[in-house]
């Protein structure tokens, strides 16, 4: 036989056998790579609620009383994401601290863990002059009576570290179950936070709509400082347990009041005209000021408005700043209208 006919005959035989199903794997068709992790339609993560993507007018909804000109209105589109139903609580943060102490103390060092990650309980004394904060300094984070209260005394770096730990913790469980990894838990962008706070109510002054701070029965709709120092008229002199007030239309609690919340963005006065109008964000590691939103138990109503911008320095822990986490929606069944 002609030696030049041997190779074509072998190739034709292999092609015939493969076409009859005698070969292994894909037989000439484009079917994608094999042995991929299983991924079902993304489930709502435990403790989170879906925020379906949409378009809204980001920015001030009332008078700019300080004439700051830092939050003019701008139409923005947001992709679907998930957000924690409530602010991260003392007991949820304690789970993180227990895991770090058990698994990472030798790597990170006890000094770093206790000074950078452990909540700074002295904020209850340092934040306010001539204030009897000692009882809260002693009990707020450690006593089970405050387990369901929002964690405070955590700076921006610690909040970011918590997000990274939560992602690794969840994906370790997914790997054991043979499931695909979950998207990262992270701090919400400023635009995501404002979109979530409005709960689908475009140009709403407060998460419940507005313009009033009480419902028809005269009940306060958030934990803040009404009047001139009447802290307790909403039922709580300081913070309240998470979820103590009505949620907004997305099912999110305490988007105004209780504690202000860290966002992922660096603060920039000119961010509104600078950032893009699709999933805007401002990640700037050289800017020490980070966005905080939502107002807190010690703030007047202006800071509770969904359009009010504020900031704190990234290494500053406060008795009135906490956080909640977010996660992007991916894949079919995520209610993400942009996919």
> What pLDDT, in 10s, does the model give residues 149-205?
999 999 999 999 999 999 999 999 999 988 889 999 999 999 999 999 999 999 899
Beta bridge partners, 38, equal 179
Q: What is the pLDDT of residue 35?
A: 81
8 Å CB contact between 78 and 58: no
222 vs 14, residue with greater confidence? 222
266 pLDDT tier (thresholds 50, 70, 90): very high
pTM for the model: 0.87
Q: What is the pLDDT of residue 337?
A: 47
8 Å CB contact between 144 and 339: no
Residues 124-151: what's their mean pLDDT? 97
8 Å CB contact between 184 and 166: no
Would you say residue 339 has pLDDT above 90? no
| Max Cα distance, the chain (Å) | 104
> Nearest Cα to 80, choosing from 41, 125, 136?
41
Residues 304-316: what's their mean pLDDT? 95
Element (H, E) at 311: strand 310-313
> Nearest Cα to 290, choosing from 280, 282, 298?
282
Q: How far apart are the first and last CA of the chain?
A: 58
Task: Looking at the chain, list the stretches that DSSP marks H as alpha helix, in order from N- to C-terminal side.
Answer: 3-19, 90-103, 105-108, 110-112, 123-126, 134-139, 156-176, 190-198, 271-274
Domains of the chain: 48-328 (3.90.1580.10)
CB count in 10 Å sphere of residue 92: 19
Would you say residue 68 has pLDDT above 90? no
8 Å CB contact between 48 and 324: no
Provide the 3-class DSSP secondary structure of residue 337: coil
61 pLDDT tier (thresholds 50, 70, 90): confident
What interhelical angle do 90-103 and 156-176 show, nearest 10?
A: 70
Q: What is the pLDDT of residue 6?
A: 47
How would you list the strands of the sheet with 260-266, edge to edge? Answer: 310-313, 289-293, 260-266, 321-322
């Amino acid at each position: 036989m002609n030696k030049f006919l041997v190779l074509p005959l072998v190739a034709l035989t292999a092609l015939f056998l493969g076409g009859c199903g005698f070969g292994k794997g894909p037989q000439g068709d484009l079917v994608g790579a094999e042995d991929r992790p299983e991924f079902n339609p993304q489930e709502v993560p435990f403790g989170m609620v879906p925020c379906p993507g949409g378009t809204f007018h980001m920015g001030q909804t009332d008078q700019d009383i300080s004439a700051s000109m830092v939050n003019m209105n701008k139409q923005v589109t947001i992709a679907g994401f998930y957000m924690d139903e409530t602010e991260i609580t003392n007991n949820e943060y304690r789970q993180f601290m227990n895991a770090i102490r058990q698994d990472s103390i030798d790597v990170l060092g006890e000094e770093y863990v206790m000074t950078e990650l452990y909540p700074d309980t002295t904020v209850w004394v340092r934040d306010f002059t001539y204030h009897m904060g000692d009882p809260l300094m002693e009990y707020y984070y450690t006593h089970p009576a405050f387990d369901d209260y929002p964690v405070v005394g955590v700076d921006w770096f610690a909040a970011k570290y918590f997000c990274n730990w939560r992602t690794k913790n969840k994906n370790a469980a997914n790997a054991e179950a043979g499931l695909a990894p979950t998207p990262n838990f992270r701090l919400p962008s400023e635009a995501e936070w404002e979109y979530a706070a409005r709960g689908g109510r475009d140009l709403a002054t407060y998460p419940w709509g507005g313009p009033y701070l009480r419902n028809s029965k005269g009940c306060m709709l958030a934990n803040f400082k009404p009047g001139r120092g009447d802290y307790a008229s909403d039922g709580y002199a300081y913070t309240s347990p998470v979820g103590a007030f009505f949620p907004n239309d997305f099912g999110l609690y305490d988007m105004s009041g209780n504690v202000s919340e860290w966002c992922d963005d660096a603060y920039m006065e000119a961010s509104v005209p600078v950032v893009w109008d699709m999933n805007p964000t401002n990640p700037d590691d050289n800017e020490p000021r980070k966005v905080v939103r939502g107002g807190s138990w010690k703030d007047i109503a202006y800071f509770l408005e969904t359009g009010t911008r504020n900031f704190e320095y990234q290494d500053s822990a406060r008795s009135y700043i906490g956080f909640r986490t977010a996660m992007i929606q991916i894949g079919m069944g995520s209610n993400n209208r942009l996919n």
